Chains A and B, each alone.
Chain A
Amino acid sequence: MPKNLLEVQNVYKYFGGIRAVDGVSLTVPENSIVGLIGPNGSGKTTLFNVISGYYKPDRGRIIFDGKDITGLKPHEIYRLGLVRTFQNPRMWKSLTVFENVIGAARDQKGESMVKALFKRLWRKQEEDYARQALHWIDFTGLDPVSHMLSSSISGGQMKLTELARALMSNAKLILLDEPAAGVNPTLARKIFDGIERLRREYKLTFFIIEHRLEVLFDYVDYVYVMHRGRIVAEGRPQEVAENPIVVDIYLGG
């Protein structure tokens, strides 16, 4: 029985009268791929924002890797090994794709305003990170555009850059918000093949929001279904696909 890397315990987040997240509890075991599905506006992104520290939950706790991370700031949560990507890609647009990726590396010595002046203190690390960044750029197939400004690449490539950044950050758990939105079905499968490989070879854990159920269900171990801020169903993909509640939500809207 693998231990749980992430535990969300009875989390609430309201915006005025909108119950965006309304008492959610779930777990993500180590080295697994867990899916989160639900119709538009069901609170999936809000849940990610709460987990990654952008919103403080009104109630409830979030445990990551055995530590209570409720109320920590996003950059503190990143340091503990949890990163998230964005539904609408957020590029550092005046930087190249390569810089977008390497910029996400952790504990960069040269980021200190004093050490930055002494190249010998950080040159080695920077060069190592450059190699690592190129590795992930290769992995995500971004090689041909790596020298281009990240504002000038296509939407799909931006999504891949988001993924490469997350990989660069050397996190244990990666939250992906619709990694395959807006890309063609072949590429979507390729992306999920890559995720599967990362889980196998790099022992990473993924928690993924995705609307393309036909692709998602082929890869995930476990799925949570959200509706109006609550988890209304959960289980293995085939169980969830046959669950009448889920069918009802997706057909009924």
Chain B
Amino acid sequence: MEFLIYSLAWGMALALMASGLSFYYAVSKVANFAHGEYVSVGVIAYLFLVGLEYGLDKCRGFNIVNYAMLTLDKLWIIAAVFIIGGLVAAASFVVVFWPLMRRGASPLQLMVVSIGLMFILRFILYVVASTFDWLTLPSPQATTFNVAGVRVNLAEVLAMILAVIATVSIALFTTKTLLGISMRAVADNPDLAEASGISSFRVQLVAWFIGGGLAAVGGVLMFILTGPPGERPIVEIGWMNLLSIFAAATLGGLGSFYGTLAGSIILGLAYNQVAAWLLDIGLDPQLALAVPFSVTLFVLLFMPQGLAGVDWHGLLARVQKKVGLRGGGGVGGSL
């Protein structure tokens, strides 16, 4: 039971990061490799803010782990992490992506440039982390509660609550509010949206801010839930999870928020179950990483719209009927 909750929470933390990516992908169509760094920014920002509270000189190296225990009175730090992550993402949109998008850069160029941004952010994170000796740390504790005989910790609770809140509010936001509806307008047709007076810049900026914030918060929770990824430095926590984030977002159908939540939960359960099972039969649990990788491949190749694209009612009918455009949706462009 506890393991199930843990897997679920892991999936929810992944959902936070993935819905962040999904959110700005929906408007800007950037497959952003720097997204993983927003996650790491969250972790380092969390450690740094904890350090500020308790005195940075006391928090060098391993000492930080005790102070960084997640308790209820640290919730303001989580909020601050959200803002910092959001600011970093918004800044990268303003400085790097927006100017390129205005020049009509191709999706591939945007993706390549995001790799450059990823490297720069990672360098900065390494400078901070190695200055305070935080390169490799075990994961901090979190306050635990006893709910009906089951032990849950604060990180698990937060991951679940925040993921659900984030998903529902983003979904409501994009369908019910004016700004949200204009976001979808921008996604569908930037030129038209611009012409009708919706500032596509402002709309995208908001999406990037929220997307980066969600990634950062998800990162902190993931850090507390599972600790550092493998033997890698904590700075690479985002990078190590980036492919799982892509997997969750593509499984959900990029740009669909309930789909992303569902995709993340499925991945969380599958990944952790497989890892535990591998450990049981004496194999390296790292092998479980094959789950997100193969899921992404499968989705990209066979169901490019992800879960959201599956027309559950018409599925049977669709299998029987062949789609017209030859070779699938890959060949773009108007004729």
Contact = CB atoms under 8 A, between A and B. Distances in A.
Q: Do A and B bind each other?
A: yes
Interface of A: 13-15, 45, 48-49, 53-56, 58, 73, 86-88
Contact of A58 (B324, B326, B334, B335): B324
B325 interface: yes
Given A14-B324, A56-B325, A88-B334, 4 more contacts: A54-B335, A55-B324, A73-B326, A87-B335
B311 to A, nearest CB: 13
Secondary structure dominating the interface of B: loop
A86 B334 CA distance: 10
Interface string B315-326: 000000000111
B324 A45 contact: no
Interface string B293-331: 000000000000000000000000000000011100000
Given A45-B335, A49-B335, A54 B324 contact: no
Contacts of B324: 13-15, 55-56, 58
B326 A86 contact: no
Interface in B18-62: none
20 contacts: A13-B324, A14-B324, A15-B324, A45-B335, A48-B335, A49-B335, A53-B326, A54-B326, A54-B335, A55-B324, A55-B325, A55-B326, A56-B324, A56-B325, A56-B326, A58-B324, A73-B326, A86-B335, A87-B335, A88-B334
Interface in B213-259: none
Contacts, number: 20
Contacts of B334: 88
Nearest to A57: B324
Contacts of B335: 45, 48-49, 54, 86-87
A55 B334 CA distance: 12
Nearest to B325: A55
A14 B325 CA distance: 11
A85 to B, nearest CB: 11
A88 B335 CA distance: 8
B238 to A, nearest CB: 36
A13 B324 CA distance: 8
Interface string B164-180: 00000000000000000
A192 B130 CA distance: 73
Nearest to B334: A88
A54 B325 CA distance: 7
Nearest to A72: B326
B330 to A, nearest CB: 13
Contacts of A88: 334
A109 B25 CA distance: 44
A72 to B, nearest CB: 10
A45 B324 CA distance: 16
Contacts of A15: 324
B188 to A, nearest CB: 16
B267 to A, nearest CB: 32
B173 to A, nearest CB: 29
A42 to B, nearest CB: 15
Contacts of A56: 324-326
The 5 closest A-B pairs by CB, nearest first: A49-B335, A56-B326, A56-B324, A54-B335, A55-B324
Identify the interface centre among B324, B326, B335: most chain A CB within 10 Å of its CB.
B335
Nearest to B333: A90
A73 B325 CA distance: 11
Contacts of A55: 324-326
Nearest to A15: B324
Nearest to B335: A49
A62 to B, nearest CB: 14
A14 B324 CA distance: 9
A87 B335 CA distance: 7
A247 B33 CA distance: 57
Contacts of A58: 324
B327 to A, nearest CB: 8
A18 to B, nearest CB: 12
Contacts of A49: 335
A253 B326 CA distance: 32
Contacts of A73: 326
B29 to A, nearest CB: 22
A49 B324 CA distance: 12
A86 B335 CA distance: 7
Contacts of B325: 55-56
Nearest to B326: A56
B206 to A, nearest CB: 32
A58 B325 CA distance: 10
Nearest to A14: B324
B333 to A, nearest CB: 8
Nearest to B331: A54
Nearest to A53: B326
